């Protein structure tokens, strides 16, 4: 059994692109776990998508042996956390599994909103935070400014923070030594009843669910009867082990302070919720670890196969993705315009985009996605309250007493020159200004209450474009608020297209309706007849555009007896039609359904 004093459990927190994964790779490499040749850049980001986007989606962990300058060998358990506000809860659970955190800050860019949010979260979990200044090889690096910023803004002692370049490997040794010196060893009770925190789980088709956890007290081995305290699921452990680089290494036992995995023929990832406490069902601990909550989707959208025949494929793909992602929700739904598909729930827009991309790439599906929607609370006149995830299901206005929408409290960090522009943006998005704090002379944090539905479409893009990429955003759900909401319907050739309906604030409905119509006019090709495109609230038309009728589509050319050629032309035309959705008499290209999601990119 390993002495707890030689274990260090830590994570790395950083803003996107500040070099978290690169540092993780360097640490793994320096400790000799893998030769350089075996290293594929960024070991911990397994998915292609993670590598491409430079973000971590799933939590990952790795165990490393480090021989320190004091001559002792230490076990490092590095837990890599997801890097996006959508996955805040996962981040908080990963932090809870650690005793310390490395805070990586870009030597040129300094602290960002998300860095700050994560640091506060780490401090909330009583983690010792070890600042690291990365990217000192950049010409624009200004380590001293960043050190001062860390001290002023966060209040962390940072003068002896390692100044490194994860890219070139410069000063990585110093990071490793400081981990030994500054991150506390775990202090669990090895003799107490088994108590462990789940920080992630993945599905393996042979072993079933593989649960990632940190042992707080006691120990676990093969055959231990276990109980998941929140879900109530109990079973018997089949295998325990720890994390090699990209592989699972079985071992006899995991005891207090250790990080590892277990398998127990668990079929459903839903039984092993992130944040849940595992204990010994024969000898349970008294109470679970604090902080568990069931994460619920915040954003919903309809996903439909472009080719209706692929519906079963989409269902299978969603099922498989859900095995690894308990926060993905889906249920079948039917759209008049799009046929059979699924209403899917996500943690946020990034989560949505990731799932969409994975479905398209890993499962080779061509998808049509409807506008994302948040969950509205509809208070009906009969006293009933419904959670509305699909605008199509909005009851008749006469049955509605009032509606509520989710509100987030947002922190936007921005350099002072863009404060005006960002405040304008928040204003346009119905933001309620709460205050502003200067972090230093040139940077400030703006605090707003914003309706969630105003930030799920294109708020990030708008934020970036209005601040030349400098603004960063962090937000959390702050409850529901009564609001003047209406359902905006789009009528194509006088027929309502259910997949294009959405809920919008009364004050912005006209503008949005007008822009939707304009955009659709460009997306819908001319057809055999004139097509009116209308935006309506109830029976009131608020905007209208017209797609003129096609005038000419005739082949007045002689191909002689070469009928095959003529036929090929017609076939091509027919092929084009297949990529369209028939609504009434009108064919709407699939990309029209998506194009309306981004009305701001002009």
Partner 1 sequence: MESDIPATGGGMTGAAAGLEIYVHIPFCVKKCAYCDFLSGPAPLPLQRQYVSALCCEIQAAAEAARETAAETGEPAIESARPAAGPVTSIFIGGGTPSILPEDLPEQILEKIKQTFTVAPDAEITIEANPGTLSKEKLISYRKSGINRLSIGLQSPKDRELAILGRIHTWKDFEFGYDAARSAGFDNINIDLMFAIPRQTPAVWRENLETVAAFSPEHISAYSLIIEEGTPFAEQELDLPDEDEEYAMYEDTYRILREAGYHQYEISNYARPGRECRHNTGYWTRADYLGFGIGAASLYQETRFRNTRNLQVYLDTFSDRPDKNLLQKVRRDRQVLSRQDSMAEYMFLGLRLRQGISREGFRKAFGRELEEVYGPVLKKYLNMSLLEEKDGWIRLTRPGIHVSNTIMSDFL
Positions in the binding site for partner 1 (CB under 8 A): 527-529, 550-558, 560-564, 566-567, 569-571, 573-574, 577, 585
Shortest reach from residue 446's CB to partner 1, in Å: 51
Q: Using the minimum distance from each CB to partner 1, give the nearer residue, 65 or 528.
A: 528
Residue whose entry in the numeric block shows the structure tokens 């980001």? 45
Shortest reach from residue 355's CB to partner 1, in Å: 36
Q: Using the minimum distance from each CB to partner 1, give the nearer residue, 540 or 572.
A: 572
Q: Using the minimum distance from each CB to partner 1, give the nearer residue, 181 or 528.
A: 528
- CA-nearest of 391, 257, 403, 267 to 335 is 391
| Tokens, residue 429 | 């998005």
**DSSP H helical ranges for 345-410:** 349-362
| Tokens, residue 473 | 């955003």
Cβ contact 256:218 at 8 Å:
yes
Shortest reach from residue 576's CB to partner 1, in Å: 9
Shortest reach from residue 58's CB to partner 1, in Å: 46
Shortest reach from residue 484's CB to partner 1, in Å: 42
Shortest reach from residue 563's CB to partner 1, in Å: 7
Shortest reach from residue 314's CB to partner 1, in Å: 27
Q: Using the minimum distance from each CB to partner 1, give the nearer residue, 482 or 567.
A: 567
**Where does residue 417 rank: exposed (0-12), middle (13-18), buried (19+ CB within 10 A)?**
exposed
Q: Using the minimum distance from each CB to partner 1, give the nearer residue, 422 or 588.
A: 588
The Cα–Cα gap between 567 and 243 comes to 60
The dihedral built from the CA positions of residue 61, 62, 67 and 69, taken in this order, carries a sign that is: negative
Q: Using the minimum distance from each CB to partner 1, give the nearer residue, 286 or 572.
A: 572
The Cα–Cα gap between 93 and 8 comes to 17
Q: Using the minimum distance from each CB to partner 1, give the nearer residue, 37 or 551.
A: 551
Q: Which residues pair with 449 in a beta bridge?
A: 409, 432
| Tokens, residue 226 | 């276990």
Shortest reach from residue 33's CB to partner 1, in Å: 57
Q: Using the minimum distance from each CB to partner 1, give the nearer residue, 41 or 554.
A: 554
| Tokens, residue 229 | 């305290």
Q: How far does CA 60 lie from the centroid of its chain?
A: 15
The two beta strands, 540-547 and 531-537, are antiparallel
Across 363-501, the runs of DSSP E, i.e. the strands, are: 367-369, 373-374, 376-380, 385-388, 400-415, 432-440, 443-451, 472-483, 485-492, 495-496
């Amino acid at each position: 059994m390993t002495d707890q004093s030689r274990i260090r459990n830590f994570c790395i927190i950083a803003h996107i692109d500040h070099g978290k994964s690169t540092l993780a790779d360097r640490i793994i490499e320096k400790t000799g776990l893998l030769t350089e040749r075996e290293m594929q850049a960024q070991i911990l980001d397994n998915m292609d998508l993670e590598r491409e986007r430079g973000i971590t989606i799933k939590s990952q962990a790795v165990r490393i042996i480090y021989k320190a300058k004091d001559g002792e060998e230490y076990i490092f358990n590095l837990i890599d956390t997801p890097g996006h506000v959508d996955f805040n809860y996962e981040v908080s659970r990963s932090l809870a599994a650690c005793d310390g955190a490395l805070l990586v800050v870009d030597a040129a860019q300094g602290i960002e909103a998300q860095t700050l949010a994560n640091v506060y979260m780490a401090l909330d979990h009583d983690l010792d935070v070890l600042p690291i200044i990365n990217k000192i090889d950049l010409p624009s690096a200004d380590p001293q400014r960043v050190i001062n910023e860390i001290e002023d803004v966060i209040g962390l002692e940072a003068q002896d923070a390692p100044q490194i370049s994860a890219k070139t490997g410069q000063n990585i040794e110093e990071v490793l030594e400081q981990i030994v010196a500054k991150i506390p060893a775990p202090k669990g009770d090895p003799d107490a009843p088994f108590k462990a925190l789940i920080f992630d789980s993945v599905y393996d088709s042979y072993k079933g669910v593989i649960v990632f956890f940190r042992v707080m007290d006691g120990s676990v081995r093969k055959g231990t009867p276990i109980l998941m305290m929140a879900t109530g699921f109990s079973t018997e452990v089949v295998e325990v082990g720890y994390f090699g680089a990209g592989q699972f290494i079985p071992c006899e036992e995991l005891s207090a302070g250790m990080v590892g995995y277990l398998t127990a023929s668990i079929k459903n990832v839903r039984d092993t919720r992130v944040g849940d406490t595992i204990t010994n069902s024969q000898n349970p601990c008294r109470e679970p670890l604090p902080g568990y909550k069931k994460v619920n989707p915040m954003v919903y959208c309809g996903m439909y196969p472009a080719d209706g025949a692929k519906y079963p494929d989409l269902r299978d793909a969603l099922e498989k993705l859900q095995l690894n992602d308990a926060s993905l929700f889906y249920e079948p739904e039917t759209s008049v315009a799009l046929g059979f598909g699924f209403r899917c729930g996500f943690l946020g827009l990034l989560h949505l985009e990731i799932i969409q991309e994975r479905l398209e790439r890993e499962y080779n599906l061509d998808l049509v996605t409807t506008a994302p929607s948040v969950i509205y609370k509809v208070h009906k006149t009969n006293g009933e309250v419904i959670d509305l995830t699909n605008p199509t299901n909005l009851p008749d206005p006469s049955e509605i007493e009032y509606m509520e929408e989710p509100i987030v409290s947002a922190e936007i960090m921005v350099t002072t020159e863009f404060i005006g522009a960002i405040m304008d943006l928040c204003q346009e998005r119905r933001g309620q200004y709460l205050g502003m704090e200067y972090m230093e002379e040139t940077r400030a944090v703006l605090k707003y209450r914003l309706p969630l539905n105003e930030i799920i479409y294109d708020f990030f893009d708008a934020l970036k474009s209005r601040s030349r990429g400098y603004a960063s955003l962090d937000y959390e759900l702050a409850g529901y608020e009564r609001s003047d909401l209406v359902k905006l319907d789009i009528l194509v050739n006088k027929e309502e297209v259910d997949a294009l309906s959405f809920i919008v604030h009364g004050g912005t409905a006209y503008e949005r309706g007008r822009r939707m119509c304009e955009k659709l006019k460009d997306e819908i090709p001319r057809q055999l007849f004139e097509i009116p495109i209308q935006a309506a609230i109830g029976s009131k038309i608020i905007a209208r555009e017209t797609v003129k009728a096609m005038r000419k589509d005739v082949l007045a050319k002689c191909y002689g007896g070469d009928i095959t050629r003529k036929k090929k032309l017609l076939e091509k035309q027919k092929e084009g039609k297949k990529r369209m959705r028939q609504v009434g008499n009108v064919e709407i290209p699939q990309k029209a359904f998506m194009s309306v999601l981004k009305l701001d990119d002009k």
